[in-house]
Amino acid sequence: FNKGFSTQTGSKLEGKVALITGAASGIGKATATKFINNGAKVIIADVQQELGQETAKELGPNAAFIACDVTKESDVSNAVDFAISKYNQLDIMYNNAGIACQSPASIVDLDLAVFDKVMNINVRGVMAGIKHASRVMIPRRRGSILCTASITGVMGGLSQHTYSVSKSSIVGIVRSLASELCHHGIRINCISPFAIPTPLVTDELTRLYQGADSETIIGVVNRLGTLEGAYCEPIDIANAALYLASDDAKYVSGHNLVVDGGFTVF
């Protein structure tokens, strides 16, 4: 799933500092790469320390890693303070970290402990990121906040309930917060990706369909799409994130940018 990483460079984020949660892997890593290639300095915040450090090393001197579990408010606060102490500014906060559902499909079998775990990372972790980014952005009267939602949050029946609920919450959070943050010059938007065979998806499907190898799983995920001749890749989300983070989207806030090859129109 790394094949779509773009080396194409630009200057849309020249002089900007971005903090991306869940950037050790997948969509977050592709976005960190894209942002750096467009002039930004990027802080990679992730609970996976070894992989996060490796990613930062791979992305070069404009990337730095900080260990951060988004379920711990002190970690999130610390990551934001790290951006300020290292670069004296935070222009872009991308709340991207998330996990898959890990619970049975039927509501009857719902394990509320699993529900709490998913909501804790996918929703509470995002709220913590928005809270602490706003803390430093409001006095500066500028900033762009992004979050990763999902097409499962805008359509029913695409995945297990818990994950869908967590992702539809992101769309609601973005709408709700946009109304407050616009008064401080801060934009907030989310992106709803189609299925991409990152570890979040392949690990979950491998668990659900025991015995299937990851190549088969990746093939299955790729065939789900509807846009002839194209698969959804992390770079597609990184491109959307670059647009929303940059001044190209200077009048866009409270928006959910669906990146699904037209899937949700059916």
Please say which residue, 183 or 223, places its beta carbon nearer to ligand NAD: 223
Please say which residue, 123 or 137, places its beta carbon nearer to ligand NAD: 123
- Shortest separation between residue 151's beta carbon and ligand NAD, angstroms: 7
Please say which residue, 97 or 249, places its beta carbon nearer to ligand NAD: 97
Selection from 198, 196, 200 nearest residue 166 by Cα: 200
Catalytic residue status for 243: no
Residues in the chain: 266
The answer to whether 91 touches 16, Cβ cutoff 8 Å, is yes
Please say which residue, 68 or 217, places its beta carbon nearer to ligand NAD: 68
Measured between alpha carbons, how far is residue 62 from residues 9, 22, 168 in Å? 14, 17, 33
Please identify which residue in the block is written with the tokens 């818990």. Answer: 162
Task: List, in order, residues 6 or more apart from 215 with CB less than 8 Å away.
Answer: none
Q: Of 94, 163, 231, 251, which residue is the catalytic one?
A: 163
The answer to whether 95 touches 129, Cβ cutoff 8 Å, is yes
CA distance 221 to 197: 6
CA atoms within 13 A on the CB side of 174: 28
Task: List, in order, residues 6 or more apart from 256 with CB less than 8 Å away.
Answer: 149, 154, 171, 174, 189, 190, 191, 192
- Shortest separation between residue 121's beta carbon and ligand NAD, angstroms: 5
- Shortest separation between residue 70's beta carbon and ligand NAD, angstroms: 4
- Shortest separation between residue 185's beta carbon and ligand NAD, angstroms: 26
Please say which residue, 167 or 182, places its beta carbon nearer to ligand NAD: 167
Q: Which residues bind ligand NAD (CB under 6 A)?
A: 21-22, 24-28, 46-48, 68-71, 96-99, 121, 125, 148, 150, 193, 195-196, 198-201
DSSP secondary structure letters along 76-133: HHHHHHHHHHHHS---EEEE-------S-SSGGG--HHHHHHHHIIIIIHHHHHHHHH
- Shortest separation between residue 90's beta carbon and ligand NAD, angstroms: 17
Known catalytic residues are: 163
